A and B are shown apart, each in its own frame.
Chain A
């Protein structure tokens, strides 16, 4: 071997070994000691980093879980109760099963029911339109149809129906992370309980104008007549500022309110079709899947 090669090998090897030794001691000195359970929990989480738990990302949620004494205030809506169960096992804590929630769009003012009064020419987002002109129909609270909610959903669970101009939630994919609720400038979307076998009832309107004004603007508006309040045997419906609201904790899904609502503002989801034929043409049943077709009756499993 020539001397050049020999000395090159020796000197570079020495540099390498010295660097390795220095790095070893530096690594030991600056080692970050982390609870290995954080990694375990992060593995168990869905990894969507959607923020639905209220923390900036899944790792932050995992850290919060490890720090917490109990898991009652912590919940991952995407992973749900199953995921929280796994986390509870890792941490040796108790966890209560939480009701599954789903996003609900409280507006039934489709293009055919709520005519446009002006043409909006501005930037095509709900947030900007809301700030600029409030609405291009007679209803200042109704859906603006640009789909800010669709853009923000990370789970492909909400889509705009081009025929009705209203967003539809795919309840199989919805994780109730709440992103669409915040994105909607009109506050139309609400997280409500999925309900037994997915059955739920809600008022599909957020208009607070007096009944005659609301009705003129939209045929499906809640006019604040109060018939539902009177019809409800469980005192679950309240009327405030010309708008009815159903308390989901008190509602027993008897559907008496749906039957008496004169405008079809109250919506029932996933119920099996009634035995008697529908008498009022404006009432309808919609189903939870995000299909972009005309609303039709849902033929799901029989009631037991």
Chain B
């Protein structure tokens, strides 16, 4: 076997244990729920505006809320049935947000959606039609960010895209939904990439995959062997390899200017997650809008961990039941991975388009260790992929020294949690930095309004 030269980003990062318990579990369909609670604001930007009323009957894939504004996305019915009510439902942040409840009745799909498993390779639609179809399908960044895809495909005035980057990295421990998609839907993924290339009017696509998914790398290389524009690059198994800033640096050696101003489009790149790319294939070739996704349900104590295709709006409770039920010693339920995931306050929380994994930790692993004083070891500085000084940012946040925090680029933090992971004193670095970022953002907004 030849030694692969894997690319990586130059600064910072950590290597948490992979724990990919469900890597070999093929995707199963989760049985239809009795009702779904579909949040109207699953994406970045303004929440969608409902176009249906209580009492209406809807079919699967029918539009239930249209995009409201330039940065917004449509929402479609994930099940067929009756619109029961509009109500505020708790989402993964712990806050209640507006949602539509649909009581399921059968599985009747909207006319025009191609439900056959046949691969459609011929891309008939032109670039502008492709982007419109993606917008109509309500596709958003399914890697977790939730940015409306159609907006990404229309770069602003004066900016051009040169490279299409496909994010198949999945660097978070435990999560395997993207891995399974690459193994099981590889052909569809390749067509999806070609669709995106057509929409962007370029011919250079790079797929980045972490080297712990050698089977996916090999398989996609075979599928894409005939496509000159698509190249697969194995990347070093190092967190946060899948962050778009790190991915762009690893694959193109280009650096996005630091946040809050920098975006991939500033360096001529567009980055899309594999689940998003697959949703693009389904929307353009099969007329299927974005109303379901593959979710990994995993954790050491589960009897049946796996990867399930789940309709949006299904409660996490049902997903846990399908995995064999909540273990007796369950201590923490995370939405996302252990690095950037959010602990859920209850299980009656609906799956949204951006939730790719649920990880259950036993009680003896769920709690943080007690926090101690900073010993100035600077481990947090060496692991920060953005080159920040987390120990300093935490102190500035504690003391409310916001001008200095701004100078120290607190807003550049990408919240990867490498600093909090590595700190030997168990200091809640990221908690304070997140708080500081929200205060600074509000301050800057107030300043801007004053001008």
A residues at B contact (CB < 8 Å): 117-119, 121-123, 125, 127-128, 131-136, 140
Interface string of B429-444 (1 = CB under 8 A from A): 0011011001000000
Task: Decide yes or no whether B243 CB sits under 8 A from chain A.
Answer: no
> Is B345 in contact with A117, judged by CB distance below 8 angstroms?
yes
Q: Contact check, B435 vs A121: say whether CB atoms are below 8 A apart.
A: no
A117 to B432, CA, bound (A): 23
**B70 within 8 A of partner (CB):** no
Interchain CB contact under 8 A, A117 and B368 = no
B396 to chain A, nearest CB (A): 14
Nearest Cβ on chain B to A222's Cβ, whole angstroms: 18
Tell me if B346 is interfacial: C-beta within 8 Å of chain A.
Answer: yes
Q: Is A132's CB under 8 angstroms from B431's CB?
A: yes
CB of B127 within 8 A of chain A?
Answer: no
B94 touches A128 (CB 8 A): no
Asked whether B367 lies within 8 Å of A123 as measured between CB atoms, the reply is: no
A121 to B428, CA, bound (A): 9
Q: Given A133-B94, A135-B94, A140-B95, are A123 and B428 neighbors across the interface (CB < 8 Å)?
A: yes
Is B368's CB under 8 angstroms from A131's CB? Answer: no
Query: Is the Cβ of A121 less than 8 Å from the Cβ of B345?
Result: no
B96 is an interface residue with CB less than 8 A from chain A = yes
Whether the pair A128, B431 counts as a contact (CB closer than 8 A) is yes
Bound: A132/B344 CA distance, A: 11
B432 touches A121 (CB 8 A): no
Nearest-neighbor residue (CB-CB) of B95 within chain A:
A134
List 12 additional contacts besides A122-B431, A127-B435; criterion CB under 8 Å: A118-B343, A118-B345, A121-B367, A121-B368, A122-B428, A125-B435, A128-B431, A131-B434, A132-B431, A133-B345, A134-B95, A136-B345
Report whether over half of chain A's contact residues are helix, strand or loop; otherwise say mixed. loop
The CA-CA distance from A123 to B329 in the complex, in Å, is: 25
A140 to B93 Cα, complex, angstroms: 12
A127 partner residues in chain B, CB cutoff 8 A: 435
A118 to chain B, nearest CB (A): 5
When C-beta atoms are compared, the residue in chain B nearest to A209 turns out to be B96
B286 to chain A minimum Cβ distance, whole angstroms, is 39
Chain B neighbourhood of A117, CB < 8 A: 345-346
- B340-376 interface mask toward A, CB cutoff 8 Å, 1 = contact, 0 = none? 0001011000000000000000000001100000000
Chain B interface residues (CB < 8 Å from chain A): 93-96, 343, 345-346, 367-368, 428, 431-432, 434-435, 438
Is the CB–CB distance between A134 and B94 below 8 Å? yes
* Contact A131 B435, beta carbon cutoff 8 Å: yes
When the two chains form their complex, are residues B96 and A140 in contact, meaning their CB atoms are under 8 A apart? yes
Closest-by-CB residue of A relative to B394 is A123
Closest 7 pairs (CB-CB, A-B): A123-B431, A123-B428, A134-B94, A133-B94, A128-B435, A121-B368, A118-B345
CB-CB under 8 A from A135, the residues of chain B are: 94
| Chain B residue with the shortest CB-CB distance to A135 | B94
What would 10 A/B residue contacts be, using CB atoms closer than 8 Å? A121-B367, A122-B428, A127-B435, A128-B432, A128-B434, A131-B435, A131-B438, A134-B94, A136-B345, A140-B95
CB-CB under 8 A from A121, the residues of chain B are: 367-368
Of all chain A residues, the one with the shortest Cβ separation from B436 is A128
- Name the residue among B93, B346, B431, B432 with the largest chain A CB count within 10 angstroms: B431
Could you tell me the distance between the alpha carbons of A250 and B346 in the complex, rounded to whole angstroms?
42
Q: How many angstroms from the CA of A198 to the CA of B347 in the assembled complex?
A: 47
Q: Whole-angstrom distance between the alpha carbons of A131 and B431 in the complex?
A: 9
Chain B residues with CB below 8 A from A140, complex form: 95-96
CB < 8 Å neighbour of A132 from B96, B367, B434 = B434
Note all chain A residues with C-beta closer than 8 A to B346: 117-118
A15 vs B367: C-alpha distance when bound (angstroms): 72
Give the shortest distance, in Å, between A224 (CB) and chain B (any CB): 16
Distance to closest chain B CB from A120 (angstroms):
9
A134 smallest CB distance to B (angstroms): 4
Residues of B within 8 A of A136 (CB): 345
Hey, which chain A residues are within 8 Å of B431, CB to CB?
A: 122-123, 128, 132
Q: How far is the CA of A127 from the CA of B400 in the complex (A)?
A: 12
The smallest beta-carbon distance between B341 and chain A, in angstroms, is 13
Interface pair B367/A119, CB less than 8 Å apart: yes
Q: Which residue of B lies closest to A121 (CB)?
A: B368
Determine the chain A residues whose CB is within 8 A of the CB of B434 once the complex forms. 128, 131-132
Q: Given A117-B345, A118-B345, A133-B345, A123 and B94 touching (CB < 8 A)?
A: no
Looking at the assembled complex, report how far the CB atom of A219 sits from the nearest CB atom of chain B, in whole angstroms. 20
In the complex, the chain A residue whose C-beta lies closest to that of B369 is A121
CA distance A127 to B368 in the complex (A): 19
Closest to B431 in A: A123
A123 touches which of B95, B343, B432 (Cβ 8 Å): B432
In the assembled complex, the CB of B329 is this many whole angstroms from the nearest CB of chain A, namely 15
